[in-house]
Amino acid sequence: MSSNRRRTFTTVAMTRLAQAVALGLTATLVGCQSTSQMGDNEAVRMHVQPRVKHKPVFVQAKPAEQAPQDVWERIRQGFQLQDDIGVNPRIEQQRLWFASNPSFLETAGDRSSLYIHYIVERLEEREMPLELALLPAIESAYNPLAYSRAHAVGLWQFIPSTGRHYNLRQTRFYDGRRDITASTNAALDYLTRLHDMFNGDWLLALAAYNAGEGTVSRAIERNERLGLPTDYWNLPLPQETRDYVPKLLALSQVVLTPEAYGVNLNPIANEPYFEAVAIKDRLDLSRVAALAEIDEDELFQLNPAFKKRMTVDGPSSCWCPLPRHNC
């Protein structure tokens, strides 16, 4: 979704929403003031012969680092997987594909504008590589409704069994695999466990995220028996998995310098896009959107886990776009 489609709550809309569905939403602004006083220094006269004239000493203040305004720049600053790549034909092949199909990343980037700031925040909290913020582009093109032949669902493409293992509830009305926040935290839990399982090797962890830890472990054991290297690049893995990691690394390189590949990434504000609003009763999201004057499609894209567009079987809150203030 492009930035020009974003809509904000007005005061009237917030009032209507509160009256219609009894949602509680408060905001507290905290300000701080500081004062300083400068005292007068008493002059001291000193008679020294001969008089020495001292040169002034200039102390250069270090400029404060400013947070990036664009979330893409924030992601670039958090890359951790690029240093040891070198020239790799498998990565170059995938990079050529992205350069030949710029619309893929542009479309996925626009879709990501609702979710990517939340994902980056969670990754930074765990000190994980920010290349992983691009993984939903590989998995689902940042479409929370994506569904695969293997019955994988959501931004992170959880299959039913793995979703249940990570407490993503799946009922007739609600699918936690499509819940933006629940699935993101489950995916990062899973990736962290795989990272630990494979001794801190992110490439093996990513391969296992795609093919399963059993597939990667068996490939490592095979190479060990044959006296072959056991790094990701030398493992006999399924073709999809052989392409999976190079695809993410190639996409990261394109995001690093999109103009070099003819890709136009629309800026995404480096600020939260949505917030939780408490709900008490079963709600029709279409009705909520109409009363609050929110774009119905946008509201549903923030709450895709409610399969019938009714707040049934899910958490006691829904996600709504944050109001934008001119500070």
Residue 90: give its domain's CATH number: 1.10.530.10
Residue that finishes a domain, picked among 261, 284, 314: 261
Radius of gyration for the alpha carbons in the chain, expressed in angstroms and rounded: 26
Q: Are residues 306 and 255 in the same domain?
A: no
CB 186 within 8 A of CB 156: yes
Predicted local distance difference test score (pLDDT) of residue 323:
81
Q: Are residues 94 and 238 in the same domain?
A: yes
**HSE, side-chain direction, 13 A CA sphere, residue 38:** 1
State both tokens at 30.
């905290």
Read off the CATH number of the domain in which 327 is found.
Answer: 3.10.350
Residue 282, domain extent:
275-327
Number of domains in the chain: 2
Predicted local distance difference test score (pLDDT) of residue 73:
98
What residues act catalytically? 139
Q: Are residues 162 and 250 in the same domain?
A: yes
pTM over 0.85: no
Q: Are residues 172 and 199 in the same domain?
A: yes
Strands (DSSP E) found in the chain: 274-278, 317-321
Domain contains 38: no
Q: Are residues 144 and 249 in the same domain?
A: yes
Domain contains 143: yes
**How confident is the chain (327 residues) per 10-residue block, as mean pLDDT?**
40 43 38 41 42 48 72 97 86 97 97 98 98 98 96 97 97 97 98 98 98 98 98 98 98 97 96 91 89 90 96 92 59
Beta carbons within 8 Å of 254's beta carbon, 6+ residues apart: 95, 98, 99, 105, 261, 263
| CA distance linking residue 268 with residue 192, whole number of Å | 27
CB 199 within 8 A of CB 192: no
Q: Are residues 229 and 297 in the same domain?
A: no
Residue that finishes a domain, picked among 207, 236, 261: 261
Predicted local distance difference test score (pLDDT) of residue 60:
53
Which phi and psi (to 5°) does residue 125 adopt?
A: -60, -35
Domain contains 14: no
What DSSP letter does each residue of 70-115 carry, written as one string?
BHHHHHHHT--SSTT--S-HHHHHHHHHHHH-HHHHHHHHHHHTTT
Predicted local distance difference test score (pLDDT) of residue 82:
85
| CA distance linking residue 158 with residue 180, whole number of Å | 12
| CA distance linking residue 214 with residue 199, whole number of Å | 15
What DSSP letter does each residue of 216-228 carry, written as one string?
HHHHHHHHHHTT-
Q: Are residues 153 and 227 in the same domain?
A: yes
Residue that finishes a domain, picked among 235, 261, 287: 261
